Amino acid sequence: MSDWSKVTRPIPVPNEWTKPFWDAAKQEVLALQRCQSCGHLQHPPYPTCTQCMGIDLKFEPVEGKGKIYAYTIMYHTGDKRFAPAVPYASIIVELDAAPGALLAGNLLDAPYTEAKVGRPVEVVFQKLNDDITLPQFRLAR
């Protein structure tokens, strides 16, 4: 199983659109943009609603349960910082609460062979430093 404790990963840099997402993650809350005009939840954050082009968007907490939408197994280390984790699963998760909203992460606490399309997963929070906590996923319990 991948040893993520020895991986020093690149740290995401929040911007004006993603800062509320990262601020919530730091509190171990998964928060997505909801369009105040049509109610659509979307991720990643955009300046406008991808459904109605509305610009009144607010972040709100959502339940961190979903299913693996796609995955890839990383066998090589283009970035040597990930060497202790190889091979590992990079997954795309579609949240049950937000169909169409796709989050990228890793499948933690499971062998990479457990990554399968459609498998239920739940969010876990991996603190990277005092500013950034990364939403990640494990198999749903």
What letter does residue 4 receive in the DSSP assignment? G
- Closer CB to Zn ion, 1 or 52, in the complex: 52
Residue that has been written with the tokens 């020895």 in this structure: 6
Name which of 56 and 109 has its Cβ closer to Zn ion. Answer: 56
Residue 37 or 90 with smaller CB distance to Zn ion: 37
Residue 138 CB, nearest approach to Zn ion (Å): 31
- The minimum distance between CB 50 and Zn ion, in angstroms, equals 8
Between 51 and 126, CB nearer to Zn ion: 51
Residues that bind Zn ion (CB under 5 A): 35, 37-38, 40, 49, 51-52, 54
Sheet with 41-42: list strands edge to edge.
Answer: 41-42, 31-35, 57-61
Neighbours of 38 (CB within 10 A): 12
Q: Residue for token digits 């906590």?
A: 133
CB of 60 to Zn ion, least distance (A): 14
Q: What are the Cα distances from residue 6, in Å, to 17, 23, 47, 51, 114?
A: 30, 25, 36, 41, 21
Smallest gap from residue 89 Cβ to Zn ion (A)? 33
